[in-house]
Structure 1
Amino acid sequence: MSSEPDVTALSATELADKIRHGELTATDAVDAHLERLRERDEEINAFVTVCEPEALEAATGADRALEATETRTPSEPRERMEHETDEDIGPLHGVPIALKDLGGLKEGVRHTFGSALFADHVAERTAAVVQRLEEAGAVVIGKTNTPAFGHKGTTVNDVIGPTASPIAPELNAGGSSGGSAAAVAAGMVPVATGSDAGGSIRIPAACCGVYGLKPTFGLVPDDRRPSAFGRSTHHVTMGPITRSVEDAALALSVMAGPHPDDPRSVPVDVEPHSGLERPASEFRIAYSPDLEVFPVEDDVQAVVEDAVQSFAAAGATVDEVRVDHGYGMDELCEAVEPTFTTAMARTATILEESTGIDVRELEDGVPDSLLEMIRRGDAYDLADLARTEPVRTDVFDAVQDVLEEYDALLTPTLSRVGVGLHEDPGIDAWEWTLTWPFNWTGHPVASAPAGLTDRGRPVGLQLVGSRFDDATVLAASAVLERERPWDWLYDESA
């Protein structure tokens, strides 16, 4: 039996280090992950498109670039050089990654938006975030599954069907970044991109037992076209999905930063790695079991509370708090439906303007759930949206009040464990996810693995931080990871 480590079990940080120092080639890394993909993806269905020839060519180029920086003969092991910096070789040099098939445009590669209407569509440009990842040396091996235009919290479409959670394959991977979360959990890639309009990074992270970070709105640029202005009523942002907190910090360090093509991006510098070793004793942690209104089920609550208590056991101050927004569940649902459905109706309008395809007039190739969401969005007017603004403001103020006293606010990610592989919770299932209030507020939020229920179902813990203090969200997440390591989840799913 070989004593060589499983390359697909390595983190992105470990892979980059081994490639940089000649212990592994980029080609070896990409080959191993493509083989893993071939082994697992028939069951999981995470990838819409696999870019094998292009990935292998990019890996070969990465190896040649690294060889060009060396001063040794090819047969000698490469010395670790203290003078090396990321300017020599990018921080993700040779690391395989996957891109969500919504927003993660790569020129010349099929980009379906999760819609059968665009099953043969090929991207004509590369998105700014993807360009940054590739400039950092990452190698794209494929595009991951998403529901049509990311419109719901499960991943299934008419292009390739549903995506399963590798931790519990009878469950859906969650959405809308379900393909990315499943690919990471199954070891097909160590890093994948996601986007989050109502929980679309955090929901699948919880369902697949991985770490997903929704950065502060405006921190990661989104240069989408033809409309660059439609992301602020119900905040949409891109972020990383990884198996470790350190990898999320690494990915965010590459993805974040202002961009001239995004009018919503902000000139704020972050240092994602700055607090990863921060001791638990320095943290003041607030815990809300349900954000006052969400019907969190007992098995989820039990796992979450165990995870929360690990902060106290490590020396942090932990207090249960109220998030005093002042609304009932029905009132919050009445406010979120207009903000989310009008965003989907806006997407349909922009799509018609840019492509001539009016999804409102189609039945074949368009999910009923998407059509219903668009129809509801069309029925709201500016006055309806205006009436949501005081509600959204009160929720924002309530979160701010907590974060004035605490470093982080913890909540469950979902009120119950994930749904069945083919189950559709429906477009009114707002009570299922505790994620979407933070798409109103714009705060940075992560979902970290909290553990498994007695039935082996993964549970996620949300960690909310102050705006533009993404580093503290990562630091608090690192405390949890040290106290309750979750890497064993991936052994279980192997």
Structure 2
Amino acid sequence: MRGPDAVATAAAVRNGESDARTVTEQAIARIRKLDPGLNAVVHTRFDAALAEVAAGLPDGPLHGVPLLVKDLGTEVEGLPATGGSRLFADAVAPRDSELVARYRRAGAVVLGTTNTPELGLNASTEPALFGPTRNPWSGAHSPGGSSGGSAAAVAAGMVPVAHASDGGGSIRIPAAACGLFGLKPSRGRVSPAPRPTTLSGLVSAHHAVTTTVRDSALLLDVAAGPLPGDAYAAPQPAAPFAELARRDPGRLRIGLLTELPQGPDVHPECAGAARAAALLCERLGHEIVETTARYRPADVGRTSGVLMGADLVAQIDARLDRLGRPLADDDIEPFTRVLYEIYRALPAADVSRALRRAQEIGWEVGAAFDEVDVLLSPTLAQPTPLLGTLDTADPESIYRHASVHSAFTSVYNVTGMPAMSVPFGHDGGGLPLGVQFAAPLGGEGQLLALAAQLERAAPWGGPPTHPVTEGREKTSG
């Protein structure tokens, strides 16, 4: 069962109803009990966390809130920084990333890091290094990816919130699969420091998966804001996101999109969830208009692939230079090797072309917001897959399936626009479904206000008790 959300947890500690040590010990106990059946948490720092609580936490908005960090692109000092890859298995973070430092300054208690597919290259969390993470709703199913470890941990109730990142849907896909709220913020909203990932940073964004909208807004207030020297930054919000989430969204004109030109088939249950969400929005006073997509998923995939592929090559080559050796056969998974070989041979001019095309796609999709305030679609074109469907040992299978899972999500990475997955109903097997809303660059406040309105009108709950969440205790680090 899920406990209080982060806002309620911090309030209880602040009001003296609980204390940071008790809250931290309870979260540690939940991780030890639940994680062996889920494999969501890959490294822990329980003793260090308790020592930090004993020494006194900063008196910030997250004071006493236990939190987990995704093991990809955001580092926790002293913990392995593997990115889910055997090539990086013995890499240790020398310092906190800026985002983790901001969490700590806000009073959060960092308990460890969560599982991720190798270097974030899969829509399911099944790395060879750590093995698969299981969905708390069904142990046979994927929790999504690449933030699947974080999503499984929050959905199971180990912690109220967890860091996540999104390069093609990696916050929204696992949020949909695990029945959570997942907001991908605008490009440049959260600083990537100290990782200089300008190319992949054009499509990647850091934030969190949460059980409530207000938690997402609070964490975004903590995380948002450029670091001096950042290459780009999102427009400043009109007010704190926590305040914007409490405002009435007003009467919005919402464009409903349930199919894609030259895209994958959309499962009737996924399309039906979006249509049901549209009907609820109508009952709440919004105007719904049918619309068509102004992009082709394959075009978006090619563009995003070049930008992220170029960064993948640079990342692997830098690691090999540091190790002083060539790439070994078992360093990376077969799918990662295929991508590495493809993009290592990429002409520099192709990177420039991809950057130009990304801007063109941004203008094409942006034109839709001349007609509507928000775009609504399914988050996923197909229901949550079984574990093993997205098998990185079979690159051909990945190519066949992966684009299906990012067909509705990755366009907002290429354009930099904010987008969120909101839990909405369940498929025929009882697994949660998500619907996606997107807004123009800088429109997180509008999305949060709409999400809060939907949350009040159609509350979403946690997963049922499931044997997958039981198991032997895991030892702490």
TM-score scaled to structure 2, two decimals?
A: 0.90
1:117 to 84, 87, 90: 87
* Higher mean displacement: 436-445 or 153-162: 153-162
Amino acid at match of 2:398: G
Match of 2:24 in 1: 30
* 1:257-268 aligned within 5 A: 257-260=225-228, 262-266=230-234, 268=236
Q: Structure 2 CA distance, aligned partners of 1:111 and 1:330?
A: 32
- Equivalent in the alignment of 1:289: 258
Instruction: Note if 1:467 corresponds to 2:436.
Output: no
Shift of 1:337: 3.6
Q: Distance in 1 between matches of 2:258 and 2:211?
A: 25
Unaligned runs of 5+ in 1: 1-5, 66-87
Q: What displacement does 1:297 show? A: 1.0
Residues 365 and 378 of structure 1, relative CA distance in 2, 3 Å threshold: closer
Equivalent residues of 2:124, 2:142 under 8 A apart: yes
Q: Residue 159 of structure 2 corresponds to which residue in structure 1?
A: 189
Deviates more, 1:243-252 or 1:395-404: 395-404
Q: What amino acid is aligned across from residue 135 of structure 1 in structure 2?
A: R
Counterpart among 393, 402, 421 of residue 387 in structure 2: 421
Q: Tell me if the contact between 2:197 and 2:311 (Cα under 8 Å) persists in the aligned partners.
A: no
Partner of 2:74: 104
1:257 touches 1:267 (CA, 8 Å); kept in 2? no
197, 204, 210: which one aligns with 1:242: 210
Shift of 1:421: 1.8
Residues 430-483 of structure 1: per-residue CA shift (max 9 Å, x gap) = 132221111110001111212211211221111111111211111111122112
- Residues of 2 paired with 1:385 and 1:260: CA distance? 26
Is 1:372 the counterpart of 2:338? The answer is yes
Equivalent position amino acid for 1:413 in 2: T
SS, match of residue 247 in structure 1: helix
Amino acid at match of 1:240: A
Within a 5 Å distance, the mapping from 1:476-487 to structure 2 comes to 476-487=450-461
**Cα-to-partner distance string for 1:303-341 (whole Å, 9 max, x where unaligned):** 22212221111111121212334x4x5444444443333
Partner AA of 1:338 in structure 2: V
Does 2:183 match 1:213? yes
Matched-pair identity in %: 33
Contact 2:200 2:308 in 1 (8 A): no
2:137–2:464 contact (8 Å) kept in structure 1: no
Counterpart-to-counterpart distance in 1, 2:229 and 2:46: 30
Select the structure with the greater relative contact order (CA < 8 A; seq sep ≥ 6): 2
* Matching residue within 431, 437, 443 for 2:411: 437
Matched, 1:126 2:100: no
8 Å CA contact 1:164, 1:172 repeated in 2: yes
State the match for 1:230 in structure 2: 199
Tell me whether 1:145 sits opposite 2:145 in the alignment: no
Tell me the equivalent position of 2:307.
339
Aligned residues of 1:280 and 1:314 also touching (Cα < 8 A): no
Aligned residues: 457
Aligned mates of 1:395, 1:263 — CA distance in 2: 21
- For the pair 1:159 / 2:129, whether they are aligned, the reply is yes
Q: 1:452, 1:357 → 2: CA distance?
A: 49
Q: Secondary structure at the match of 1:212?
A: strand
Closer/same/farther in 2, CA of residues 35 and 378 from structure 1, 3 Å limit:
same
**Cα offset, 1:190, TM superposition:** 0.9
Would the aligned equivalents of 1:223 and 1:261 in 2 still touch at CA under 8 Å?
Answer: no
Distance 1:377 1:89, change over 3 A: same
- Residue 16 of structure 1 aligns with which residue? 10
Is 2:135 aligned against 1:169? Answer: no
For 1:341, give the aligned amino acid: G
Structure of greater Rg: 1
Q: Secondary structure at the match of 1:311?
A: helix
- 1:342-369 residue CA offsets vs partner (Å, 9 max, x unmatched): 33223223333444454xx222131111
- Paired residues of 1:221 and 1:262 also in contact (CA < 8 A): yes
CA contact (8 A) 2:274 2:376 kept: no
Q: Distance in 2 between matches of 1:297 and 1:90?
A: 44
2:170 aligns to what SS in structure 1? coil
Question: 1:60 offset after TM fit, Å?
Answer: 2.6
Q: Matched residues in 1 for 2:20 and 2:333: separation?
A: 40
Whole-angstrom CA distance in 1 between matches of 2:357 and 2:229: 31
RMSD: 2.2
Q: Partner of 2:55 in structure 1?
A: 61
Offset, 1:407: 2.4
Letter of the 2:275 partner, please give it.
E
Q: Secondary structure at the match of 1:246?
A: helix
Which residue type is aligned with residue 130 of structure 1?
V
Distance 1:336 1:217, change over 3 A: closer
Determine if contact 2:76/2:95 at 8 Å carries over to the other structure: yes
Cα distance change on mapping 1:333 and 1:97 into 2, 3 Å: closer
Q: Any idea what SS the aligned residue of 1:426 has?
A: helix
Q: Give TM-score, length-normalised by structure 1.
A: 0.87
**Could you tell me which residue of structure 2 aligns to residue 82 of structure 1?**
none
**CA 1:52–1:357 in 2, change beyond 3 Å: closer, same or farther?**
farther
The CA deviation at 1:149 is 1.4
How far apart are the structure 2 equivalents of 1:154 and 1:55? 29
State the distance in 1 between where 2:298 and 2:81 align: 37
Contact 1:258 1:267 in 2 (8 A): no
Question: 1:96-133 deviations in whole A, cap 9, x for unaligned?
Answer: 00000112212122222211233332211110000000
Which of 450, 453, 459 matches 2:427? 453
CA–CA separation in structure 2 for the residues paired with 1:331 and 1:242: 31
Determine if contact 2:38/2:139 at 8 Å carries over to the other structure: yes
User: How big is each residue's C-alpha offset from its partner over 1:403-447, in whole Å with a ceiling of 9 and x where there is no partner?
Assistant: 233221111111101221232250452132221111110001111
CA distance in 2, matches of 1:345, 1:485: 43
Residue 152 of structure 1 and its aligned partner are, at CA, apart by: 1.7
| Unaligned segments of structure 2, at least 5 residues | 391-396, 470-477
Q: Deviations over 1:158-212 (max 9, x none)?
A: 3320001112221111111111111111111111111111111111111111111
How is 1:343-422 mapped onto 2 (pairs within 5 angstroms)?
343-356=311-324, 358=326, 361-389=327-355, 391-422=357-388
Q: How far is 1:19 from its partner?
A: 0.4
Alignment-mate amino acid for residue 14 of structure 2: R
What's the CA shift string for 1:363-397, capped at 9, x where partnerless?
Answer: 21311111111112123223334444564344312
